[in-house]
Amino acid sequence: MMADLLTELKKITLYTTKQSLTEYCWELFNIVLSSSEADGWGMRQRNQAILFCRFFVNTINAAFSIKEALTQDNLTNLNNSLLDKLQEHLANLEEYQSEVELDEVEQFFDGYSEILFRYEESLFDSLSLRISLSYFKDFFIRLRLIDLSL
Mind giving me the DSSP string for 24-85? HHHHHHHHHHTSHHHHT--HHHHHHHHHHHHHHHHHHHHHHHHHHHHHHTT-SS--HHHHHH
pLDDT digits (tens, 9 = 90+) for 51-93: 999 999 999 999 999 999 999 999 999 999 999 999 999 999 9
pLDDT digits (tens, 9 = 90+) for 4-59: 899 999 999 998 999 999 999 999 899 899 999 999 999 999 998 999 999 999 99
Kindly give, in sequence order, each residue whose CB lies less than 8 Å from that of residue 145, ignoring residues fewer than 6 positions away.
102
pLDDT confidence band for 1 (50 / 70 / 90): very low
Q: Is residue 121 predicted with pLDDT exceeding 70?
A: no
Q: CA-to-CA distance for 31 and 135, rounded, in angstroms?
A: 18
Q: Report CA torsion sign: 82, 15, 58, 9.
A: negative
pLDDT at residue number 120: 67
Enter the pTM of the model.
0.88
Q: Is residue 118 predicted with pLDDT exceeding 70?
A: yes
